[in-house]
Amino acid sequence: MNTSIKMQEFIESGASRETDHEIMTAIAGCSVDVESASRIWESPSAAELAAIIEAVTCGDRLDTTDFCWGVYGSSWASEL
C-alpha cells in the first residue's frame, strides 16, 4: 500500500482514537511515515508537540482547548 494512502488512513483513524481531524493532520505533517505518526500520537517529543500546537492553533489564532486528543481531551496541550 502506498505511503500517502497509509497516512490518510492514519488521519482517518482519529475518530477511533477520539482525536480531532486537525490534530491528526498536524501529527501527519510532523511525521515521515505512519509508524512515526503513531509514535507521535502516543508520545510526542517537546519539539513535535510545539509544531502540532502551532499547526492546530494556526499560530495562536485558535485555542488548543478547541480540539481533543484521545484520553487527554481538550487539555492535551498542557498534559502531554
Closest to 22 (Cα-Cα) out of 60, 55, 63: 55
Residue 16: what pLDDT?
97
What confidence tens digit (pLDDT) does each residue in 10-59 have? 999 999 999 999 999 999 999 999 999 999 999 999 999 999 999 999 99
Give the start-to-end residue ranges of the domains of the chain: 3-79
Contacts for 21 with CB less than 8 Å, ≥ 6 apart:
11, 14
CB 28 within 8 A of CB 37: yes
